[in-house]
Amino acid sequence: MAYESEIAKRKTFAIIAHPDAGKTTLTEKFLLFGGQIQTAGAVKSNKITKATTSDFMEIEKQRGISVATSVMTFPYKEKWINILDTPGHKDFAEDTYRTLTAVDSVILVIDCVKGVEEQTEKLMEVCRMRNHPVIVFVNKMDRDGKDPFDLLEELEIKLNIAVHPMTWPINGGRDFKGVYLMSNHSLNLFESSKTKVTDDVVKIKGLEDPKIDSLLNKKDAAKLREDIELIDGVYGKLSDEDYLNAKTAPIFFGSALNSFGIQELLDTFIEIAPNPLARATTKRNVEPNEPKFSGFVFKIHANLDPKHRDRIAFLRVCSGKFERNKNFTHVRLNKQMKFANPYLFLAQSKEVMNDAYPGDVVGLYDTGNFKIGDTLSEGEHFMFKGIPSFSPEIFKELINIDPMKSKQLEKGIQQLTDEGLASLFVQELGNRKFVGTVGELQFEVLQYRLEHEYGAKCRFESRSIYKACWIEGLEQNLKDFMKYRQNNIAYDKDERPVFLAETGFILRMAEEKYPDISFYTSNEFSV
């Protein structure tokens, strides 16, 4: 089997959560425990006191939120860990959905105070669609939150997945004293520390060990014994198979801000999380141990370094070996490409790499050749599946307010929508540009980045559009329909025709009048 030892080292996962659950802070602590950084930033009340490593765009530092997926790679205990820290804000959900195509498993962060929130449920739906194994980290145990048993029930009901406690909290809030480790019957006692990199685990000889009574008070010791007896009776031992098949989610309790509960989470993750998995393509499933290289672009980011106006395509290696300065086939363009300076990332910092293996994420300098979903291969022509774009929910027309900067605005909106930050639809009549997003915050980010990265000023004017529908049919049928509804026809970035339906009623009428034309609210039909 080709590259078997390298593949066995790789663990590639995404961290997902509702905004403010502590996702980016947990990412930082993984890097801290992995020895990649000496200090971690702190996110408090949506204000950055010291900008977190994985939030590098200026607007992220100002708002205290993640608005773009960050990629971080580091070694840990002879494993090679690839973390994708995703946006938590619902307005950037599509970036998160695409990112989930590039990982093999997921760590879900839950705020113990708020429990399961709306965005958490939506993210879990995507995980279930892709059958991703999930580990849950219940965060902020040093704050007064929900009862742990109530949380377990809430997780099972709202996320539709069985849970399995791997650690168990001793009290919570101001009385939080630590966790009991189910796997080795030990105690991890809580100590508030934002920078420590080891947990203080106390070995005990089972729950009857009198040491528990001296470390805790009698009341807490009695409650712990009672809780663990109940948990053992209900949950038993974790089935690795059920976890890998996304039927059961192991659960850990801790405090990311205080670096507590991270060690056991990380150690269990590298032990049970899946190695790189097979990926579906338009021809067949591609196995990671195949000798020939293949991979796909799941994210594009312009101006990662604003000083150099660079544009990076993030590529997930799916099979074989990626090599620096070796020719590969860009399948969509059917042309050969090689890369002199491919990069591995630690958030904003990066280093040139010579080779990469399945599971790795490679940063490729791009001069406009790549779009999200593009495939690179060692000659074989196929496209990887499951990287969709959906119809936006909000549509606005892009208005240039500085005609002297028209070229900068054109370049900026093309590059930023190539990243997947928003959808761009262009009408031939008058060259009108309509931008579609999931939420209002994306327009704010677009406007900010267009001005600060491209020097182009614009405004967005709301337009009454219900859905963007990709249309497909016989050439003459399409021609007739597009002539009839020419004021509602635009083209996406791949120059495919799109029907901009103003209302649900108008869409239904079009479907009834033109039964030979198919209307799609996702572009995945063409993959």
* Listed residue (347, 249, 276, 268) closest to 27, CA to CA: 347
Percent of residues, the chain, with pLDDT higher than 90:
52
Q: Which amino acid is located at 248 in the chain?
A: T
- So what's the pLDDT on residue 58? 55
Query: Has residue 422 got a pLDDT over 90?
Result: no
CA dist., res. 496 & res. 504, Å (int): 22
Stretch 381-397: mean pLDDT: 84
Cβ distance 360 to 10 under 8 Å? yes
What dotted CATH number matches 4-272? 3.40.50.300
Tokens of 353: 């790499």
| 410: CB partners within 8 A, 6+ apart | none
- So what's the pLDDT on residue 342? 93
Q: Which of 141-155, 420-434, 443-457 has the highest mean pLDDT?
A: 141-155
Boundaries of every domain in the chain? 4-272, 279-377, 394-526
Tallying the residues shown for the chain, one arrives at 527
- So what's the pLDDT on residue 38? 52
DSSP class of residue 495 equals -
| Residue 157: CB atoms within 10 Å | 10
Stretch 313-335: mean pLDDT: 95
The least confident of 63-67, 127-131, 255-259, 469-473 is 63-67
HSE (side-chain half, CA atoms, 13 Å) at 488: 20
Stretch 373-381: mean pLDDT: 92
Exposed / middle / buried, residue 100 (Cβ in 10 Å: 0-12, 13-18, 19+): buried
Query: Which residue is listed with tokens 């001069």?
Result: 367
Query: Has residue 47 got a pLDDT over 60?
Result: no
**CA 142 to each of CA 50, 139, 148, 149, 260: distance values in angstroms, whole numbers, following the listed order:** 22, 9, 13, 17, 10
Who wins on pLDDT, 24 or 199? 24
Query: Where would I find the beta strands (DSSP E) of 190-246?
Result: 201-203
Q: Which of 69-73, 191-195, 439-443 has the highest mean pLDDT?
A: 439-443
Stretch 441-450: mean pLDDT: 87
**Band of residue 65 on the pLDDT scale cut at 50, 70, 90:** very low
CA pseudo-torsion sign 480, 496, 96, 89: negative
User: Hey, which residues does 55 pair with through a beta bridge?
Assistant: none
- So what's the pLDDT on residue 46? 35
Query: Has residue 344 got a pLDDT over 90?
Result: no
Who wins on pLDDT, 5 or 46? 5
Stretch 268-294: mean pLDDT: 94
Query: Which residue is listed with tokens 């016989």?
Result: 474
CA dist., res. 132 & res. 103, Å (int): 8
Exposure string (b/e) for 252-288, b if CB count within 10 Å is 16 or more?
bbbbbbbbbbbbbbbebbeebbbbbbebebeeeebbb
Q: Which CATH entry fits the domain spanning 279-377: 3.20.20.10, 1.20.1250.20, 1.10.10.60, 3.40.50.300?
A: 3.40.50.300
Q: Which of 30-34, 300-304, 337-341 has the highest mean pLDDT?
A: 337-341
Query: Which residue is listed with tokens 């649900």?
Result: 504
CA dist., res. 288 & res. 298, Å (int): 17
The SS3 assignment for 449 reads helix
CA dist., res. 297 & res. 317, Å (int): 9
CA dist., res. 497 & res. 478, Å (int): 9
The least confident of 36-40, 72-76, 154-158 is 36-40
**Band of residue 425 on the pLDDT scale cut at 50, 70, 90:** very high
CA dist., res. 437 & res. 421, Å (int): 8
Q: What is the pLDDT of residues 183-195, one digit of tens each?
A: 888 888 887 665 5
- So what's the pLDDT on residue 125? 81
**CA 307 to each of CA 311, 394, 410, 428, 457: distance values in angstroms, whole numbers, following the listed order:** 12, 32, 20, 35, 19
CA dist., res. 500 & res. 471, Å (int): 10
Q: Where are the alpha helices (DSSP H) in 167-239?
A: 211-215, 218-235
CA dist., res. 326 & res. 91, Å (int): 38
Query: Has residue 51 got a pLDDT over 80?
Result: no
Stretch 422-428: mean pLDDT: 91
The SS3 assignment for 111 reads strand
**Band of residue 48 on the pLDDT scale cut at 50, 70, 90:** very low
Query: Has residue 55 got a pLDDT over 50?
Result: no
* Listed residue (126, 105, 85) closest to 11, CA to CA: 105
| 524: CB partners within 8 A, 6+ apart | 385, 386, 387, 388, 389
Who wins on pLDDT, 122 or 244? 244
Query: Has residue 290 got a pLDDT over 90?
Result: yes
HSE (side-chain half, CA atoms, 13 Å) at 312: 24
Exposed / middle / buried, residue 34 (Cβ in 10 Å: 0-12, 13-18, 19+): buried
The reply to whether domains 279-377 and 394-526 share a CATH topology is: no
Class of domain 394-526: alpha beta
Query: Has residue 170 got a pLDDT over 60?
Result: yes
**Band of residue 52 on the pLDDT scale cut at 50, 70, 90:** very low
Q: What is the pLDDT of residues 475-525, one digit of tens each?
A: 999 999 999 899 999 999 888 999 999 999 999 999 999 999 999 887 664
Phi-psi region of 456 (alpha: psi -120 to 50; beta: other; left: phi over 0): beta
* Listed residue (140, 24, 39) closest to 83, CA to CA: 24
The SS3 assignment for 389 reads coil
